[in-house]
Amino acid sequence: TDMARTLVELFYDVVSPYSWLGFEVLCRYQHIWNIDLRFRPAFLGGIMQATGNKPPAMLPKRAEYMLKDLKRMAKYYQVPVQISESDFQRIFGTSNLGAMRFITAIDMTQPQYLEPLSREFWIRFWSQREDISQPENILAVARQAGLSPELTQKLFEMISSPAVKNRLKETTEEAIKYGAFGMPAVVAHFNGEPHLFFGSDRLELLGSVIGE
C-alpha cells in the first residue's frame, strides 16, 4: 500500500543564507523521501521582532563562527553561498520585504514557479551580491526564473496590494505559532503533530523523526 506522504513545510526568507542551504537540501530529499514539500515564504524581520531574537552576526564571536560555518556548509552541500565579513553590513542595509512580497505573489498565483524564483533570489543576493531591493533586480530575477513579462508585471503590481501584504504577514504569524524564532523553520506534520526543526543542520534528525 502507498504510505501517506508526510507534509513538510519550509518557512524561509531569501535574506537568510541558512534558508538557502535548507531549501536546496529539502529540494533534493523531496524526490527520495516520502514527503510533500511545501514552500512557505515568510518575513524573517517579523519573526525576529515578534520573538525578540537578534541576527547572529550582531554578536562578534557568533559572526566570526558563522563565516566559517557558512563556507563549510556551502562546500559540503554544494550551494554557491558567498560570504565575507562585509556581507553582514550589506544584509542589515537591504530591505528584503519587496522580494518576499514578490515571492508571496507568485505563491498565490503561479506556485509552480516558487522553487526557481526563490532560488534565483538567493543566487542574486548570496552569489552575485546584488541588491534585491531594487525593482530592476526583482524584474531580472523573474526573467531568469522563466516568468513571462506579462506575469512579471502583474506580480510586480501585486506587491503593494493588501492581499499580498496580508498573506505574507499571515504566513509569518503561522511560523511563529509553530514556535519559529529564526529561519529556516521546518515543520513536519507527522502522527497528527507538528514537529519544528530550526536551521539547515537538523535535516537528518527530521528524517529520523518521520521514519526516513
According to DSSP, the residues that pair with 198 across neighbouring strands are 185
Q: Pick the catalytic residue: 16, 19, 118, 200?
A: 16
Going by CATH, does the domain composed of 6-210 fall within 3.40.50.720?
no
Contacts of 142 (CB under 8 A, 6+ apart): 102, 117, 151, 152, 155
Q: pLDDT per position in the chain (212 positions), as tens?
A: 357 899 999 999 999 999 999 999 999 999 999 999 999 999 999 999 999 988 877 888 988 999 999 999 999 999 999 988 877 777 777 788 999 999 999 999 999 999 999 999 999 999 998 889 899 999 999 999 999 999 999 999 999 999 999 999 999 999 999 999 999 999 999 999 999 999 998 999 999 999 99
pTM of the entire structure? 0.94
C-alpha cell at 184: 529556516
Q: With beta carbons less than 8 A apart as the criterion, state whether 171 and 40 touch.
A: yes
C-alpha cell at 19: 534558508
Domain ranges for the chain, please list them. 6-210
C-alpha cell at 130: 546584488
Nearest to 40 by CA among 107, 125, 121: 107
The verdict on whether 16 is a catalytic residue reads yes
- Residue 152 CA, chain-centre distance (Å), reads 20
- Residue 106 CA, chain-centre distance (Å), reads 14
- Name all contacts of 57-62 with Cβ < 8 Å and 24+ positions apart: 57/88, 57/91, 57/92
